[in-house]
């Protein structure tokens, strides 16, 4: 017998008693003056007092800073979190990325919020050693290694959360009745309730996201900032390194284009990414780009398409959190790109009705674990999930194989404010 899918009423009757408070860490794609100055942020540098040493693990390796939460900005919830000061989250990120060893993470509660940003120690390891995950930063071999994640302010909202499995219920029945689909829709509704943002099917995908513009003179002058030149050139070099050499090795245009792309990158190192290029520099860049777009070589066409797509995405991510950059880039560029960073996603079902889901990478505090393999033994009523962070391209977060990182603490240690006893978990 085929069981009916869960309705809203069915879901509330079954999972409603297990509902928990959670705090959604909303990362707006386009910042404004209200959240530019937020003390809560992901990545960047911590407001760590000078009398507190930068955290290190048991092997004396400096930890990477991941998040800062302003406790005074936390919404009212049922959990006994601090209502003043800052919570700072650090973790060891290396090739292992496991957090299985003792002292792999550190959570620090700072009572005074008026501290300068603390620079990391010189021996902090690069985020992506040996060129690992180069596509996230488009680093070149002669670049200074990236050691700090991109700073992005967040807004804190209370949301309802539900478990991935209801105790006492048969897994197969929950699967057959699409419990997970209904849960994702319920979470998406909560995220829409607090942010007011959701995909709609009248939005156009940004034209540079999937193809190169044939007429670069159609629209506002391009490129608007040096960050676009730099990122497109870097993406071109990255994709050239990965391309099928047999298809393009004889293409003299592509070979010369790589040389010029390196020249753009070298010049960009001396210029702020939010600066407007001179007419001479813009013309020189477009003279480089146009022949690639109109090349008869399909491999080169595909390569430049990917380079423009990835380069523009990364340039807009950088400008979205830069007040000067935001002013220099047309607003419709950000509007067209914003669909990629919404807290919810949607698709049309067989009846052409939109089906909404929470985005894979919505960061949160408390509530239930969003996903993962088998539940770890510490996921029980004695412990609390302080923070769950997901791999996030805009922040350059990458945990294990595009997985997630969690910070946990026992309820007793939380009540005693023993954040030094917090522990971590990474899964992918």
Q: What is the pTM of this model?
A: 0.89
* Farthest-apart Cα atoms in the chain, separation: 72
pLDDT of 134 reads 59
Instruction: State the 10-residue block means of pLDDT for the chain, 428 residues long.
Output: 75 88 90 71 93 91 95 90 95 74 90 84 82 66 87 94 85 83 88 81 48 57 92 91 60 77 95 95 92 84 87 91 91 80 69 64 87 72 93 84 88 95 88
Strand partners of residue 107: 89
Domain locations in the chain?
8-199+342-427, 208-340
φ, ψ at 407 (rounded to 5°): -115, 130
SS3 letters for the chain?
A: CCCCCCCHHHHHHHHHHHCEEEEEEECCCCCCHHHHCCCCEECCCCCCCCCCCCCECCCCCECEEEEEEEHHHCCCCCCCCCCCCEEEEEECCCCCCCCCCCCCEEEEEECCCCCCCCCCCCCCCCCCHHHCCHHHCCCCCCCCCCCCCCCEECEEEEEEECCCCCCCCCHHHHHHCCHHHHHHHHHHHHHHHHHCCCCCCCCCCCHHHHCCCCCCCCCCCCCCCHHHHHHHHHHHHHHHHHCCHHHHCCCHHHHHHHHHHHHHHHHHCCCCCCCCCCHHHHHHHHHHHHHHHCCCCHHHHHHHHHHHHHHHHHHHHHHHCCHHHHHHCCHHHHHHHHHHHCCEEEEECCCCCEEEEECCCCCEEECCCCCCCCCCCCCCCCEEEEEEEECECCCCECCCCCCEEEEEEEHHHHHCCCHHHCEEEEEC
Distance separating alpha carbons of residues 84 and 147, to the nearest angstrom: 29
Q: Does domain 8-199+342-427 have CATH number 3.30.9.60?
A: no
Could you give the angle at which helices 226-242 and 298-320 cross, rounded to 10 degrees? 140
Residue identified by tokens 């993470």 is: 105
pLDDT of 334 reads 85
Nearest to 370 by CA among 182, 163, 178, 100: 163
Nearest to 109 by CA among 71, 64, 152: 71
Residue identified by tokens 């560029």 is: 333
pLDDT of 209 reads 46
Would you state the structure tokens that stand for residue 200, as one six-digit string?
């709609």
Say if CB 264 and CB 235 are below 8 A apart: no
């Amino acid at each position: 017998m085929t069981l009916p899918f869960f309705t809203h009423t069915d879901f509330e009757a079954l999972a409603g008693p297990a509902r928990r408070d959670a705090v959604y860490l909303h990362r707006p794609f386009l910042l404004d003056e209200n959240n530019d100055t937020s003390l809560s942020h992901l990545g960047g540098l911590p407001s760590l007092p000078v009398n507190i040493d930068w955290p290190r693990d048991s092997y004396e390796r400096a930890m990477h800073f991941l998040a800062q939460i302003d406790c005074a900005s936390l919404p009212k919830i049922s959990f006994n979190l601090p209502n003043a000061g800052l919570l700072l989250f650090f973790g060891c990120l290396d090739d292992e990325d496991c957090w299985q060893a003792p002292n792999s993470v550190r959570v620090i509660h700072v009572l005074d919020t008026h501290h300068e940003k603390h620079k990391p120690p010189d021996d902090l390891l690069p985020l992506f050693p040996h060129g690992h995950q180069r596509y996230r930063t488009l680093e070149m071999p002669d670049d200074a290694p990236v050691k700090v994640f991109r700073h992005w302010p967040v807004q804190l909202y209370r949301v309802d959360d539900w478990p991935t499995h209801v105790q006492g219920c048969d897994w197969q029945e929950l699967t057959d009745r699409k419990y997970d689909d209904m849960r994702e829709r319920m979470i998406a509704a909560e995220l829409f309730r607090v942010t007011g943002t959701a995909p709609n099917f009248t939005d156009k995908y940004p034209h540079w996201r999937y193809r190169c513009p044939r007429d670069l003179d159609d629209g506002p002058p391009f490129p608007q900032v040096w960050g676009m030149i730099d990122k497109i050139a870097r993406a071109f070099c990255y994709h050239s390194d990965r391309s099928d050499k047999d298809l393009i090795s004889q293409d003299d245009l592509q070979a010369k284009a790589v040389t010029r792309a390196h020249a753009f990158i070298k010049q960009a190192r001396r210029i702020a990414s939010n600066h407007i290029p001179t007419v001479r520099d813009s013309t020189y860049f477009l003279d480089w780009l146009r022949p690639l777009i109109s090349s008869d070589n399909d491999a080169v066409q595909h390569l430049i398409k990917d380079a423009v797509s990835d380069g523009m995405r990364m340039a807009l991510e950088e400008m979205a959190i830069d007040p000067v950059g935001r002013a220099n880039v047309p607003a419709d560029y950000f509007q067209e790109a914003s669909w990629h960073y919404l807290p919810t996603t949607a698709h049309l079902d067989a009846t052409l009705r939109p089906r909404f889901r929470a985005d894979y990478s919505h960061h949160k505090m408390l509530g239930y674990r969003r996903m993962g393999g088998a539940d770890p033994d510490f996921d029980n009523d004695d412990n609390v999930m302080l923070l769950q962070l997901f791999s996030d391209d805009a922040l350059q977060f990458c945990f294990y194989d595009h997985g997630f990182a969690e910070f946990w603490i026992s309820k007793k240690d939380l009540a005693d404010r023993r954040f030094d006893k917090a522990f971590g978990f990474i899964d992918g």
